[in-house]
A = this chain, B = another copy of it.
Amino acid sequence: MQAEIITIGDEILIGQIIDTNSAYIAKALNKIGVSVYQITSIQDDKTHILKALKEAEGNADIIIITGGLGPTKDDITKHTLAEYFNDSLVLNQDVLKHVEHIFARYSSNPISQLNVNQALVPSMATVLHNEYGTAPGMWIEHNSRVFVSLPGVPFEMKELIDISVLPRIQSKYKCPFIMHKTYLTYGLGESALAERIEAWEDALPKHIKLAYLPNLGKVRLRLSAKGFDKNAIVSEMDRQEQLLMPQIKDIFMGIEGFEDTLEEQIGKTLTILGQSVATAESCTGGRIAEQFTSHPGASEYFKGSVVSYATQAKIDVLNIPEALILEHSVVSAAVAEAMAMQALKMFKSDYAIATTGNAGPSKATDKEELGTVFIAIASKTGVYSEKFNLGDLRIKVVNKAVDKALEMLQKEILKNR
């Protein structure tokens, strides 16, 4: 069984927004055993929508469409769906009541015609209740295909996927089991890794697929399998893991839960240990703090951060001695370590991460090259730092520094366990 995702909206095609909806939907579908054949982003244009629907009908059993359901003239998805199915739009009383209910918060006047029109749906559609917005989701069955139309606003779309769409797919179809497992390796290039595990890779059974995902010094190996016999898949994946592991044990960094980022893994470990972390960030500008706090439950283990972006802030807020900075320069191991120790002390945390570096495009100090970053990890057993040269592209330097810092922290926590 295959799905296709169609996202409608000129804002995607002019690059004004990044399409995050598709990744959410693809991941959600994968979890219940539905593979995504293709993701197609198209314009708010009737001809284009009709063409994409026709093609998707040839590719997939389930077609999920997002966008173009607002009340204004540039929103044409609903009318185009009605045309595609030779259907007409009818007023749905439940949706109308919900729209009226939403506007009752703001005004006691009757709602406008544009908002009444939000309650129009193709007569053949089953309405999926959208708690957070005026545009209902729609479920249409046609030619043994399912077409689902959802609003493009991400949190409305997500709620509809989770509450309405997935359960309906699961009750309509017998879905296979899809399993992904990703092994994080570090320190060996993609091609060298591929050569090392070639014999194992060549002997993989047909229903297990291997992918290499290289990214800045790390290579993730993803094994994927799909089938109706869940137990057989799980045990075959286990068997392959046991064959793989001895070959990568010198470069193996951990198994990535399909959704667990490194900071989530760290968060889980710290929560279990009842320990905490704080950060003192210069070149990473708060990004490490932001990554920790982007996950619910961060308050269990994340104490806080001092983002000492300006050199003076390192002196005034982090209490780094000015003499130390003058002696070693602001981008130095000594300053990174002092920052980490200060963060540990100020936030009374068990671990602290500090970063200082020249992210570019201009340099904070002439002493070190562009791309040089010092990262320090402090804990109750002491402090240490590493120096990295992370290239000359600002965004790459910052992202790599965040990754390195999290890796160093993870290793330190595991060492102290």
**Chain A contacts to B: CB under 8 angstroms:** 10-20, 22-30, 35-44, 48, 52, 55, 70-75, 106, 112, 114-115, 132, 153, 155, 180, 182, 189-192, 194-195, 201, 209-215, 222, 224, 258, 276, 278-279, 281, 284-290, 292-294, 296, 298-299, 302-310, 312-313, 316-317, 346-348, 360-362, 364, 391, 393-396, 398
Residues of B near A195 (CB, < 8 A) are: 112, 114
Residues of B near A288 (CB, < 8 A) are: 286
Q: Are B313 and A304 in contact (CB under 8 A)?
A: yes
Q: Are A112 and B290 in contact (CB under 8 A)?
A: no
28 residue pairs bridging A and B, Cβ less than 8 Å apart: A11-B211, A11-B213, A12-B22, A12-B23, A13-B37, A14-B30, A38-B48, A72-B212, A106-B189, A112-B191, A155-B393, A279-B307, A286-B286, A286-B287, A286-B288, A286-B307, A289-B307, A293-B307, A293-B398, A294-B398, A296-B361, A296-B394, A298-B309, A299-B309, A304-B310, A304-B317, A313-B346, A316-B347
Q: Are B19 and A15 in contact (CB under 8 A)?
A: no
Q: Are A36 and B11 in contact (CB under 8 A)?
A: no
Residues of B near A38 (CB, < 8 A) are: 13, 40-43, 48, 52
Q: Give Cα A316 to B344, complex, Å.
A: 12
Residues of B near A74 (CB, < 8 A) are: 209-212
Report if A302-B309 is in contact (Cβ < 8 Å); known contacts: A13-B39, A74-B210, A112-B195. yes
Which listed residue (B41, B191, B258) contacts A71, Cβ 8 A? B191
**Top 7 nearest A-B pairs by Cβ distance?**
A285-B293, A15-B27, A286-B289, A15-B26, A286-B286, A305-B307, A304-B313
Q: Give Cα A11 to B26, complex, Å.
A: 10
Q: Give Cα A52 to B38, complex, Å.
A: 10
Residues of B near A346 (CB, < 8 A) are: 313, 316-317
Which residue, A299, A394, A398, has most C-beta atoms of chain B within 10 A? A299
Report if A15-B11 is in contact (Cβ < 8 Å); known contacts: A299-B310, A303-B309. no
* A39, closest chain B residue (CB): B41
* A307, closest chain B residue (CB): B305
* A21, closest chain B residue (CB): B18
Residues of B near A347 (CB, < 8 A) are: 310, 313, 316-317
Which residue, A15, A153, A304, has most C-beta atoms of chain B within 10 A? A304
Which listed residue (B11, B27, B395) contacts A16, Cβ 8 A? B27
* A26, closest chain B residue (CB): B15
Report if A14-B180 is in contact (Cβ < 8 Å); known contacts: A305-B305, A361-B296. yes
Report if A211-B312 is in contact (Cβ < 8 Å); known contacts: A191-B71, A224-B14, A290-B287. no
A76 to chain B, nearest CB (A): 12
Report if A72-B115 is in contact (Cβ < 8 Å); known contacts: A299-B309, A310-B299, A347-B313. no
Q: Give Cα A25 to B19, complex, Å.
A: 13
Residues of B near A18 (CB, < 8 A) are: 18-20, 23
A105 to chain B, nearest CB (A): 11
Residues of B near A20 (CB, < 8 A) are: 18
Report if A307-B304 is in contact (Cβ < 8 Å); known contacts: A73-B194, A211-B10, A290-B290. yes
Residues of B near A191 (CB, < 8 A) are: 71-72, 112, 114-115
Q: Are A73 and B37 in contact (CB under 8 A)?
A: no
Residues of B near A304 (CB, < 8 A) are: 306-310, 313, 317
Q: Are A296 and B360 in contact (CB under 8 A)?
A: yes
Which listed residue (B44, B213, B394) contacts A211, Cβ 8 A? B44
Which listed residue (B23, B37, B43, B48) contacts A19, Cβ 8 A? B23
* A256, closest chain B residue (CB): B16
A367 to chain B, nearest CB (A): 17
A4 to chain B, nearest CB (A): 10
